[in-house]
Amino acid sequence: DSGVTQTPKHLITATGQRVTLRCSPRSGDLSVYWYQQSLDQGLQFLIQYYNGEERAKGNILERFSAQQFPDLHSELNLSSLELGDSALYFCASSVAAGLEQFFGPGTRLTVL
């Protein structure tokens, strides 16, 4: 158990819908990262937050957004969902940028 928690574990929804994935970092970690794992794209970095501020963006679609709250938990919002958004979404955290990242259990999103 890495200490990073993610909810929900599984999410099944329909095309065009909007969902929110939640992540709580390890105690004391200020940096939160989101990654997407799919069969065709592999593991891809989406976005990084540090102490509430966005710090780096990867291949994140405009339909996706994220934020980190004052209590350091983070949410990833996915809207206008498409079949291709079906994937495993991981959250990771680290004490500070540039240090080892610890991964949560992931949220498996299925878009029907």
- Where does this chain bind another protein (CB under 8 A)? 2, 33, 35, 42-45, 48, 50, 55-56, 58, 90, 92, 97-98, 100-106, 108
Smallest separation, CB 91 to another protein (Å): 10
Cross-sheet strand order for the sheet of 19-24: 5-7, 19-24, 74-78, 64-68
Nearer to another protein, 15 or 41 (CB): 41
Q: For tokens 């989101």, what's the residue?
A: 34
Closer CB to another protein, 17 or 43, in the complex: 43
* Rounded least distance, CB 97 to another protein, Å: 5
Q: Cβ(64)–Cβ(76) under 8 Å? A: yes
What is the separation of C-alpha 91 from the centre of its chain, rounded to a whole number of angstroms?
4
